[in-house]
A and B are shown apart, each in its own frame.
Chain A
Amino acid sequence: NAGVTQTPKFRVLKTGQSMTLLCAQDMNHEYMYWYRQDPGMGLRLIHYSVGEGTTAKGEVPDGYNVSRLKKQNFLLGLESAAPSQTSVYFCASSYSPLANTEAFFGQGTRLTVV
């Protein structure tokens, strides 16, 4: 039972490079989320999706784009990486927040932008 899987686990980028983080869940969850975690800041929501083909902005969306072409996958893109985007990124999914259900998190992707 894989749950939520994030790829890659570690990455170093140069300023201005682009990359895509992949999140895959095998629990048939409708809702998926991307958070970033910085020291002393907790987790902050970047973008989220309430279903296949839909996305919405969270608290800190600038510099990121997302896509949800398939229900099980949620992609986070950085078009032109900046040092301020150095962070640990977590993907999460839940069956339905309307039922106050648990959010399941991936193991995280540690991204360093130099």
Chain B
Amino acid sequence: GENVEQHPSTLSVQEGDSAVIKCTYSDSASNYFPWYKQELGKGPQLIIDIRSNVGEKKDQRIAVTLNKTAKHFSLHITETQPEDSAVYFCAPKSYSGGGADGLTFGKGTHLIIQP
């Protein structure tokens, strides 16, 4: 199965600064790389994802970059705002064999935006 690690486990940044969270995975067949955001008291919500044929994807202040050779992908948040404070999870997935068996999540990164 997939072995997923996220770093750091906690990240504190000043409002307006950038934040980067890294996710490493073990399954070289992984071809789908999503990031989920979980706000306090809520379920996770997809914020951005990338397929293996793309190296980078941007959506306003957030971006995801993928390095398949090194088997890691990263979430980048620029111009951080208080509403970015949350726990972020990566969940790399291989859909080669069907992929019905759910997502394997990293342990999460608690992002704290300091005013």
Contacts and interface: CB of A to CB of B under 8 A. Distances in A.
Interface of A: 4, 31, 33, 35, 40-45, 48, 50, 56, 58-59, 90, 92, 97-98, 100, 102-103, 105-108
Nearest to A54: B100
Contacts of A58: 101-102
Contacts of A92: 43, 102
Contact of A41 (B42, B46, B107): B107
Interface residues of B, number: 26
B98 interface: yes
Contact of B103 (A50, A98, A103, A107): A103
A73 to B, nearest CB: 17
A82 B53 CA distance: 45
A56 B99 CA distance: 13
Contacts of A42: 89, 105-108
A90 B93 contact: no
B3 to A, nearest CB: 12
Interface of B: 1, 9, 32, 34, 41-46, 49, 51, 89, 93, 95, 98-108
A4 B45 CA distance: 12
Q: Which of A35, A42, A44, A107 has the most CB of B within 10 A?
A: A42
A107 B51 contact: no
Q: Which of A44, A90, A103 has the most CB of B within 10 A?
A: A103
Q: Which of B43, B51, B93 has the most CB of A within 10 A?
A: B43
B16 to A, nearest CB: 29
Given A35-B102, A44-B105, 5 more contacts: A56-B100, A92-B43, A102-B46, A107-B42, A108-B43
Contacts of A98: 95, 98-100
Contact of B99 (A97, A105, A108): A97
B95 A97 contact: yes
Nearest to A45: B102
